[in-house]
A = this chain, B = another copy of it.
Amino acid sequence: MIKVAVVGASGYTGVELLRLLVGHPEVEISCVTSRQHEGLPISQVFPSLAGFCELVCSPLDVPAISAQADLIFTALPHKSAMAVVPDFLAAGCKVVDLSADYRLKDKDVYEQWYQEHTSPELLSEAVYGLPELFREQIAAARLVANPGCYPTSVALGLAPLLSKGLIDPASLVIDSKSGATGAGRGAKQGSLYCEVNEGFKAYGIASHRHTPEIEQSLSALSGAPVKVTFTPHLLPINRGILSTIYATLLKKKSSIELIDLYREYYAKEPFVRVMPGNELPNVAYVKGTNFCDLGLVSDQRTGRVILVSAIDNLVKGAAGQAVQNMNLLYGFAESLGLGIVPLFP
């Protein structure tokens, strides 16, 4: 039994962490923080939690929180996270940071896409929290940088192809679509119901901050620097990311051969499901769960493979992966508290 704190509990990632943690048999939630709702029971911020969590939102007081918790989940925006993570570590806590602040290994790349980094000395220590690729390093870490939602869908999708050298990395085109929780719970006009509903658009073309994170993962997988074209879109749904990924095959492979290769690659993974050849992923099939569903087609006409990767952006793309990382950090069974059956429809 460990004690955990959720720092920044009033966003969508925060409530999702609480949803998963209140049912985790090895976890006691000792503290939730929210600047906006300080003093309010979290079950009034999120009435869905009534009966499950009776904590009151605290201010972000690092010493007070550290004294009550073994592990801190920081669910803060980038920049706000690195303002407190070093202090939590110094106080002896472990940290799973859900922001972007410790994901990029290269300080210069971080500073080019975000802003000045105030604790660059932690970048080499931080472990990128994608268990399917870095399981052992995570288990031994003090600071886990929980991956971004888009990068998770892409890295899991491409790992088999890239690590086996089957595609030309220069040909990679990644067309991703995310549900609206990805935009956060802040009150912005662009996130209003009537602006999103019955609409669909691309955004951040050639400039989205997840691009360098995607490239870092794919470069690691392919063993050489990879540059990608990455285009995110906003879907009128609450949850889910579907990434459609295009690459030129270096050797002719049929759909069946590639699916077999994927099944083998992910045979022991509890959270990756490779779809049969006649099926394709749908974000509806992973709703509320930590699964990444993968499907693909090899197009003989054009020599390209078209790969589809679906996750719930709040679970495998954020809170669920964070809990999976916590399980690794503390030696719990990796799926503990994550055995949720998808809610369909």
Contact = CB atoms under 8 A, between A and B. Distances in A.
A73 to B, nearest CB: 16
A284 B199 CA distance: 5
A84 interface: no
Copies of this protein in the complex: 4
Given A48-B286, A193-B195, A200-B282, 10 more contacts: A46-B344, A48-B342, A173-B304, A195-B284, A197-B238, A198-B283, A200-B283, A233-B244, A239-B345, A288-B343
A304 to B, nearest CB: 5
Interface of A: 12, 15, 19, 22-23, 44, 46-52, 173, 175, 177, 180-181, 185, 187-189, 191-203, 205-206, 227-229, 231, 233, 235-240, 242, 244, 246, 273, 275-276, 279-288, 291, 293, 297-302, 304, 306, 308, 310, 339, 341-345
A179 to B, nearest CB: 8
A284 B198 contact: yes
Contacts of A233: 177, 242, 244
B47 A301 contact: no
19 contacts: A23-B341, A46-B344, A48-B287, A48-B344, A51-B273, A180-B197, A185-B194, A187-B189, A193-B193, A193-B197, A195-B345, A198-B283, A199-B237, A200-B282, A227-B302, A229-B246, A229-B302, A229-B306, A231-B244
Q: Which of A48, A180, A285, A297 has the most CB of B within 10 A?
A: A48
A297 B205 contact: yes
A280 B200 CA distance: 11
Nearest to A228: B302
